[in-house]
Structure 1
Amino acid sequence: MDEKRSELPLWRSILIIFSCTLAMIANITANSSLSVSLPTIERELRIPQAALQWVVSANPLSNGCLLLLFGRLADLYGRNKAFLLGSLWLLAFTLGCAFVNDAITLDILRGFQGLGGAATIPASLGILAHSFPPGRARALAFATFAAGAPLGGGIGTVLGGVLTELTPQSWRSPFYVGAGITTLSMVGALVSFNPDQPSNEEDRRVDWIGAFLVTAGLVLIVFVLGQGEVAPKQWSTPYIVGLLIAGVVLVALFIIWQYHLEGVQDTSQCLLYPNPRSRCASLSLLAMRHLPTPPPIMKLSLWTRARGRVAVVFCVAFLNWCCFQAWIYWVTLYYQNYVGYSPLRTVVRMVPMFVTGLLCNAFVALFVGHIAMTVLVACGTTLTGCACLLFAVINPNAPYWAFGFPSAIIAVIGADFVFACGTMYVAKQCLPHEQSVGGAVFQTMTQIGTALGVTVSTVVFDRVLESKATKNGISMENLTSVEEPRRLTLPAYRAAFWTGFAFGICACLLTVIFLRVGVIGHRDSASLSPTLTDVEEPITVTNSARESAVEREKEKA
């Protein structure tokens, strides 16, 4: 298999990377282009401000909650098929969003739009891992793919602001651009992708029970995180409390169910290859006869590989995205609502972030084979945290170059380093039939981190603002003057950025203490970092092995 992958022509390798990166750009652009257009959409479609968030949240909600299921389906039935079908789906609903005339339809189409990204991104990670063996080519492929995130953010934000203000189609124009990017990605995939290879798993059933539990649980949790602050009684609203408890219970049941199914799979192997380490529990044997026991949609042992370092990578990605997305969210609001800049002036101040993002991924591609992963991730998470720190201590009267410019430069470094290094490391630890699932788990952690980071920082912002208003004898409903909101909201903005800084520092400490990983990205990296070789070998069972096992059972009888 590796020999076939190494023989790819240069033009085909470039086109594979190009197509997968365009898929990432299209997925990010679908959200970033819309955030700048929200005020225009609010006026044109007459959307109440309390309901405006669902225009943004519908896409990441469906996207993040279905990554794991679609990743598993891609591994089973073909990553090429999953990529093309997901791209076609994304294209159809992106174009559909450009023609809507009411808020409810836009929310629904945005939710369906997210399903396309949920299919293409895990499939892209699996395709890259399968097409490029460990080495410099894989490092370049994953770094380029990771560059699609800042590039998509830059394209979406800049074009979203420019096209909304300067084109007759206004906020609808970015959807046309997104559809064009998706079309290019599909064409490149049709020309360059390898035919799907059948899965080497003997049991190819889908764990639909686990898929339901994890999808329903994540939907409820992400919904509550986005709705908790705007509910009638905020977090004490009965349906918010109930849905949060239900979501946590469903996720807990999913974990228990996955543990059980993995035990069943170990039991089936134990019957063929007696092994005292296999978990041949009587409960599992009973379940094999009376309950559906497909392979788990996500093996819990994936988290424990490399002595638990895979789990650390997932947690670092989660915390880093809490920090990074909180920075993006509050910087945008600070510039527009506090300083009073227009969307276009806000975009200009964010441009350094996109330039740095591209440079960072080029840096990773060149030096990931020479610098330890721990150093890259620790430096990246620290710098992203410091981006929040600069705004936490900002002087509003200081020029942009004192706080805003350096913050925009370093904010994206952590996201790029963690994404590129993290996805390469996870791909290294995954078996051939788990590549898309591994990428899906990584992406799911970043999506949950995005929701939690914005939610927690919003709670902090609201509580600090409420406290300052109460001390000054001003009700929250009466914050309508020009001077009072500026005087009272600055401490609230600073508190929100301090929250983001805390997330970034936690990610850095977790990296330094628990993520001791050496150089990755080259074939000889195993000698430099023994943790990279702690991968389970796939178990293949031949007919002769089965016959031998049956004969042993007959002799025992």
Structure 2
Amino acid sequence: MDVIQRVSETSTTTRTEFDGDQAFKASSSGKFSETEDGPTLIVHPVQRLSNSKLFILGTGQVFLWGLTSASILETAFALPVIGEEFHLTPGEVQWIAASMMLTWGCFQLIAGRLCDIFGRKRGYMIGCLGLMVTNIISTFMPNLASLNVFRALAGIASAIVLPASAGIIGSLYPAGRLRTLAFAAITCGGAAGAAGGELIAGILIEWTKWTWRPCFLLIGLLTIYPLVIGYLLIPLDPPLTADKAVDWLGAFAIGSSIFLLLLTFTLSQTQNRGWKTPYLPALLVVSGLLFVAFAWRQRQLSKSARLLSNKKPPPLIPLSLITTKNRNLLIIYIASASTWAMTDSFFVFVSYLYFDVLDLSPFQAGLKLSVTFFSGTFAALVVALTITHISPRVVMTLGCLISVASPVIFAVRGLDWAYWKGDLWALLVIAYGTDATIAAGSTIISQTASPEDQSVASALFQTSCRLGFALGLAISTLVQTSVEKSALSSYSNPTDDQRNHALVEGLRAAQWCNAGYIALAAVLVGFGMKGWQRLDHHEYANEGEDASEK
């Protein structure tokens, strides 16, 4: 029988026959119906946009990805001030940032699949509206409990809107140079937003009487731009039908597994006893069991999908995205996790150095870190201009190797070093590994995934980055505290200078650990991936089409 046909620029509905291997796609790509000729899938066409509309839509996506990055960094910068206003302990104030990251990581995979099934524009609009409303309301929260609730809701909104955005890029932008540039552009937006968020947060906290509150208000108001652009330009989703099937059991299993895993890492940093807290191993075990249950169910659903009489929902994650036959994808997931483990942990420990050791104000720290706005943007442009001419394997390997210098410099810097002697150079090269991995990885995954799996494929990629950050920060923090305690143990009654010296030694050890993460990513990509073809090579360009035929 014929396989599912790819719908080109047409305004008519396509009816195609398919066998059991394609049956599971019916619920996400169109409407399934029985006819005299056999099972038929009515596939809704994809409306193509002009290049000018794609450019305007792209600016909205760049803005959106920048705002989500800025939201994370602004929150981290505001934590000391929020803790002082609400009279919180260091462990309590960490929950403001952790609540957002927990829900973000927990719901991302589920949201990606729901966007593929029920419509990416619907997911995009819901996510943008949620991001706008939750940030604006966060501005006026009077206590920790209410602020935590709305930061958690902001995490859910981010988990919905980013996979929807990536899926929209993967489905509306033609495969090849244009799609590659689009993914490189949102990477640039994320880098610029992260650096800009640090500087803006420093200015608002330092120079306004409302300190941290305008940070959330500004994010909420700026979200109006991508919301309006998306409403006007993103084509309407197909009408909802009653035959949409979702693997809710699998969604519960993987969502709970990720939530418990991230919760364990969070508690290890917020509880006084750290990893010695008695219930943390139990949480890890339950998380592992839920993940095993999820993997088993996905395998069973994939087998059932090959039967014409199948009435079960499709797998939450297509096996084509995680099979060992697609070794490059598995390498990209692990390498991106390692890259983000380094990048985010790097900034956490740099903040500790600037605030706790060098005693800088939020504005002074933000000003020092603001160079990453320009260096991150420049790195993203370099990646965008080279990634269609050079093998992504080479780009990612070189990017990671360049970024190794950043944590190494902070691991060896002296406290009396001038800014231009060490910090400046570290911050100038920090973004190359992240930008190369995200831009190349997003493009390869988008071109490998079938058209109806674009959002869940992006969600899987983004989830690997979130898990990498959580695991990397937990390990680096464990290294940092162990070295710090070891240094303090040599003093019977340590003075303030000796405590400060022990803290510096711990921070240096953590940066060496971060250097190991990014070096691991370079080794994995350089020696683990196969092939040296460019992204516009026919092997990559046709992988998405091949995926829909298998």
Normalised to the residue count of structure 1, the TM-score between the two structures is 0.87
Distance in 1, matches of 2:484 and 2:543, equals 47
SS of the equivalent of 2:317 reads coil
Give how far 1:184 is off. 0.9
Pick from 263, 267, 273 the counterpart of residue 233 of structure 1.
273
TM alignment of 1:502-513, pairs within 5 A: 502-513=516-527
- The aligned residue for residue 383 of structure 2 is 364
CA contact (8 A) 1:376 1:417 kept: yes
- The aligned residue for residue 343 of structure 1 is 362
1:536 aligns with 2:547: yes
1:254 aligns with 2:282: no
- The aligned residue for residue 377 of structure 1 is 396
Distance in 2, matches of 1:53 and 1:42, equals 9
Distance in 1, matches of 2:429 and 2:287, equals 35
Corresponding letter in the other structure for 1:497: Q
Distance in 1, matches of 2:90 and 2:273, equals 17
Distance in 2, matches of 1:309 and 1:35, equals 34
Give how far 1:198 is off. 6.4
Pick from 198, 222, 240 the counterpart of residue 181 of structure 1.
222
SS of the equivalent of 2:419 reads coil
1:221 aligns with 2:261: yes
Give how far 1:371 is off. 0.8
Distance in 2, matches of 1:375 and 1:181, equals 36
Corresponding letter in the other structure for 2:380: N
Pick from 405, 423, 436 the counterpart of residue 442 of structure 2.
423
Distance in 2, matches of 1:8 and 1:301, equals 29
SS of the equivalent of 1:293 reads coil
- The aligned residue for residue 553 of structure 1 is none
Distance in 1, matches of 2:47 and 2:312, equals 37
Distance in 2, matches of 1:295 and 1:520, equals 33
Give how far 1:345 is off. 1.3
Say which structure is richer in helix. Answer: 1
CA contact (8 A) 1:392 1:498 kept: yes
Give how far 1:327 is off. 0.8
TM alignment of 1:257-336, pairs within 5 A: 257-266=297-306, 268=307, 293-304=312-323, 307-336=326-355
- The aligned residue for residue 246 of structure 2 is 206
1:91 aligns with 2:105: no
1:501 aligns with 2:515: yes
TM alignment of 1:506-521, pairs within 5 A: 506-521=520-535
Give how far 1:247 is off. 1.1
Deviates more, 1:513-522 or 1:126-135: 513-522
Distance in 2, matches of 1:469 and 1:211, equals 46
- The aligned residue for residue 154 of structure 1 is 195
Deviations 1:341-365 (A, max 9, x none): 1111111221222211111222222
Distance in 2, matches of 1:531 and 1:484, equals 61
Give how far 1:172 is off. 0.5
- The aligned residue for residue 56 of structure 1 is 97
Normalised to the residue count of structure 2, the TM-score between the two structures is 0.88
Q: 1:470 to 1:129 in 2, by over 3 A?
A: same
- The aligned residue for residue 85 of structure 2 is 44
1:245 aligns with 2:288: no
- The aligned residue for residue 526 of structure 1 is 538
Unmatched segments (≥5 aa) in structure 2: 1-6, 11-45
Distance in 1, matches of 2:341 and 2:301, equals 31
Give how far 1:402 is off. 2.0
- The aligned residue for residue 454 of structure 1 is 473
Distance in 2, matches of 1:309 and 1:202, equals 37
Distance in 2, matches of 1:123 and 1:29, equals 19
Distance in 1, matches of 2:545 and 2:396, equals 20
Q: 1:7 to 1:111 in 2, by over 3 A?
A: closer
Question: Aligned residues: percent identity?
Answer: 24
CA contact (8 A) 1:211 1:297 kept: yes
Give how far 1:232 is off. 4.5
Corresponding letter in the other structure for 1:53: Q
Give how far 1:213 is off. 0.4
Deviations 1:163-190 (A, max 9, x none): 1121232211011110122111101111
Pick from 424, 430, 433 the counterpart of residue 414 of structure 1.
433
- The aligned residue for residue 3 of structure 2 is none
Deviations 1:497-521 (A, max 9, x none): 0110111111111111111343444
- The aligned residue for residue 465 of structure 1 is 484
- The aligned residue for residue 74 of structure 2 is 33
Q: 1:506 to 1:534 in 2, by over 3 A?
A: farther
CA contact (8 A) 1:306 1:429 kept: no
Q: Name segments (4+ residues, structure 1) moved above 4 Å.
A: 4-7, 529-534
Give how far 1:494 is off. 1.1
